[in-house]
Structure 1
């Protein structure tokens, strides 16, 4: 299989991985044949890439570190909690039940992380655009959990980090949708309102008896920065809780590598460089290192363009050099098909990945 930009999809291609809707249901199942209508519908739903079956890459399996079914369950639980909070009349019994479900999700994800802690982590489930916020919260939670496990945090601390991360953006429910979904640049007044989502989220979570107070602080502080340039309180250094420092790294990385209505996704390596540019100034260096050592920058199956002009697919990762994967070239610089051959970018140091198709 290989990951293909929707722009490059053509009728007759078959899906190699299922696509999920906002409530975690399978929208299009694996083996579904694409048509012009389906491609157009996927575009309308905000899907930017799919995994397709390709005889040149039958041996390439882009298996996520966390099973698709578990990720779908997690995203759906987060969605239900957000939607329940948005209701005028709060059902505290139902909320507590969903928090218990979220804790069950934590337990399952935690087991997967422990079983795969010597494997680089990859989250490659495909969702429609209206699931972005819930998917973002879930992925930030998993990234933060991976960092915590890497650093040897005890299970109870990992649990607090996970719960706070999974709901760190719940305060955005209090921001007008026209501001949240605005495709252009925000006005100073709109940006000031967006910043308040941290305070709104903290106020929501700290009032829930079943929710840990330290987890609620993640919602409040995940936009604070070591040098005091963050918000809402412009905290510095040790004034920021360690949980929030970790989530800040995961939050920014996931945001930068996700396509939004107002910009394209950044290359994973570019996003990592962006984070490291703030090492010791905005972000805690040890959390950046733990994150970099645990995360797959170029998922297996990803279609990339090289500095030579050739197109290739990532077929394996080098754990000692995550920015230099092994790729299989299938198209030359003129767009002509070639007999596929593999190139280890950790050895071909003059060749760079210049573009990813997402």
Structure 2
């Protein structure tokens, strides 16, 4: 692949990712260099880039094909995701009826989704929302399974553990099948005693998953410990960070993130960027800092090129994500570049 000066790069597709001097991702491999891209490269003092050996017209066609090819992926993901939620709902009903967890069925629920999120992790920032609180438990479980899988990958844990960590995520709330339905599906705020009953789902989850063939000890411990916190303020045992299994730490981050992004009876979900900002705050005392930072960096590095709405209502496209300020990228809107790291009164409201 030829390396050429920036001034000669117009009309070429980038053959490699382009990073700033600080290590922030500026453009993905395959980006077609047009006038706007050239201005940004020059602004960040990038002197040369590696490009593909294709004519300009051909590259425009390739780029168009790539963009169009994402549409079927989005549709496939949404279809598979909604199907997975319904399958998991049926599985929970079976467990409620006293059956043991069918591990192979759980794996089959995740199987169609894992390759998609590996290749298109940006989809994790726009997970579909279900319409009611009852289905939320199932949707939340599937989402946490996918998020936990990607965190394991980004943390470079042994590959043979990724699926087990995904199983830990999807089964983390399985203990709720043993909670009184009147409490579990209550449409108003829980009383103090009802909340204490709800907290027992962690112990019930441990009992349901411990010793089950096909599930590792980490899966059972994640069911037990995902509400524990690094400073010992969690439940059910008030354990501190060095007593928690790594699966539990990963699932805790995944479930807190998805919970903040989701709509509930008493509050609207926040944008993924607001959620990760809160995660970064919670990494000081509540959540494991290494897991949080790995997750935030992994999730936000794929945001370049995403169309977003800011809190002032303006629509723009993310053109640069700084690794040091992952929740506050540079956004191009109406011909101007807004550096959210400097314009602190604005933040990303949602991904369009």
**Normalising to structure 1: TM-score of the pair?**
0.67
Out of 100, 106, 125, which is 2:128 matched to?
125
Aligned to 2:84: 74
2:50 matched to which residue of 1? none
Identify the match of residue 84 of structure 1 among 94, 100, 111: 94
Q: Is 1:209 aligned with 2:213?
A: yes
- The 5 A counterparts of 1:1-358 are 64=74, 67-88=77-98, 90=99, 96=102, 99-116=103-120, 121-129=124-132, 130-206=134-210, 208-296=212-300, 300=306, 303-306=309-312, 311-316=313-318, 318-320=320-322, 322-324=326-328, 341-346=334-339, 349-350=342-343, 352-353=346-347, 355-356=349-350
Q: CA deviation at 1:328?
A: 7.2
Deviation at 1:286, TM superposition (A): 0.8
Measure the CA separation in 2 of the matches of 1:68 and 1:186: 32
Q: How many residues align?
A: 278
Change in 2 beyond 3 A, CA 1:125/1:328 = farther
Retained in 1: the 8 A contact 2:164–2:219? Answer: yes
The 3-state SS of whatever aligns with 2:227 is coil
CA contact (8 A) 1:324 1:344 kept: no
Cα gap change, 1:200 to 1:250, in 2 (>3 Å)? same
Separation in structure 1 between the aligned mates of residue 105 and residue 230 of structure 2, nearest angstrom:
34
- CA distance change for structure 1 residues 275 and 204 in 2, over 3 Å: closer, same or farther? same
In 2, distance between residues paired with 1:312 and 1:155?
41
Q: Could you list the runs of 5+ residues in structure 2 that have no partner in the other structure?
A: 1-66
> TM-score with structure 2 length normalisation?
0.68
Q: Which moved more, 1:194-203 or 1:265-274?
A: 265-274
* Residues 271, 351 of structure 2: 8 Å contact kept: no
Cα distance in structure 2, aligned partners of 1:132 and 1:111: 23
CA distance in 2, matches of 1:66, 1:216: 31
* Cα-to-partner distance string for 1:119-157 (whole Å, 9 max, x where unaligned): 684343243224211111111111111111011112221
Shift of 1:268: 3.1
Which structure is higher in helix share?
A: 2
- Structure 1 regions of 5+ residues with no counterpart? 1-57, 330-340
- Residues in 1 aligned to 2:187 and 2:308: alpha-carbon distance in whole angstroms: 27
In 2: Cα distance, 1:355 partner to 1:114 partner:
25
Aligned-residue CA RMSD (Å): 3.3
